[in-house]
Structure 1
Amino acid sequence: MEQRLIQTLAEWLLEAQHTVILTGAGMSTESGLPDFRSNQGLWYGRDPQEIASVYAIKHNREDFVDFYRWRIKEVDKYKPHIGHHLLTRWQRQGLVQRIITQNVDGFHHQAESHDVIELHGSLRELYCMDCGHRTEAKRYLQEKGEVCPQCGGFLRPDIVLFGEMLDTQAIETAFAEARQAELFIVLGSSLQVSPANMLPMEAKEAGAKLAIVNLHDTLLDPQADLLIEGKVGEVLQKTDEWLNRKRNFGMV
């Protein structure tokens, strides 16, 4: 990992008046969570349409509940990594203005970041499809935890399922933030899923600098102003160290 690239990212963070972060699955896998499509991934040997869709709620509810009970239990085994906590620190220092995430694990909230736009919802909460009552996700781990305590209706995770549209307000806010950005940083996303993969170009076309940090190639690598290949946590830690050195020498 070239020090020059780290220094550039740090300098851009200091210069930008409005920095927006987009995090993807690579951010979560560094905490230990499985990805989606590898041989050890979430969907390996499973059909998401059968267990994680609107269809599953209507026609395969028992398997739906079992699957999300397992997912909630799995997420609870892991914690935010150094990268999540550094983004929170940078928010408090005024270096980052908004975080947008494709992830549903809630790790940004656990790391106490604020005003996070969760494009695909969150496994942190359940809500009743009948009365709208909300409760914490750990209720699913109880026997009959899918039954609403208020009305007896069906509790489901507050995430976007296969066959559902993303929340309109979340999408509109994310695109508004992208257009306002002076610096847009992609962390751990292959940028294959729409409409999240449109946000970086929305920012760039509005005049922002685009930085991408990922272990593997992304579809927008040719459009990036700065491309760093590496683990998100390590890159952010090295960037933070550079920022601290500059502060200690009175250069900030």
Structure 2
Amino acid sequence: MTGLSPASPRPFVALTGFRFRLWPILLAAVLMQAILELGRVTAREIYFAGAPLWDGYISVFLLLAIAFQALLGLVAILVMRRLLPVADPHLRWPPGASYVGIAALIGIGMGLVMLAADYWPALTAQTPPNMSYSKAPLDSAGYLLGMITTGLAEETIFRGLLVGMLVVLVPGRLRIGALDLPIAAYLVALMFGLAHWKSFTVDPFYQAMAQQIYAFVWGLVYVWLMERSRSLLAPIVAHGLGNFTEVGIVIALNAIWS
């Protein structure tokens, strides 16, 4: 007679292959801040230098900042690939399933969640949500263009560069239930939330706190999409559609309820 013992239950949380290193985390934080800020500073200088050309449309600054941040992110990835050849920034067309359809649905859902989290007092009162940019149609169109393309910059920086680097330098995976992601995903998701710290200085506390929470969650979702599609395309789509959905509805509600 063979004695058989029941299989041990699978733990809900499991950490495997983790090796803690502080310096790569600090380096990633410095790179994040430097790229984001240098992109903004360059965009600001060009925006003010050419102010008469765009007649004060703030969306021009947004589009310039996205373009420069994306460019700086790509340059940083080129440097990373030279210094750390095993790092994978996922800058490729999806070799298999693209996950773009799922990413689009996720992005629209994200936009609706952000809308509720950011503007619930105005929504419940049916008053126009506060807009931090011009209501001029051309400026609104520029903002929508900026929102749909945000992922080109932020996914290149956060997922392509920072996750790509930290997966190698701070190895390990953390599984929570069915969610199994590299430690780098959680670290960069935290950085992604902290990158929005200025919202605490300009927005109501509830809105700034909500942004920290959903930015962290979205950061994990973007890595989930990136790993499954083996490409940055799906997270770029989800990121852009999420921002576009929220801002598009805010613009529409301002037009309807004003």
TM-score, scaled to structure 2: 0.25
Higher relative contact order (CA 8 A, sep 6+): 2
Q: Quick check: which one's helix share is greater?
A: 2
Q: Larger C-alpha radius of gyration, 1 or 2?
A: 2
TM-score, scaled to structure 1: 0.26
Q: Quick check: which one's strand share is greater?
A: 1
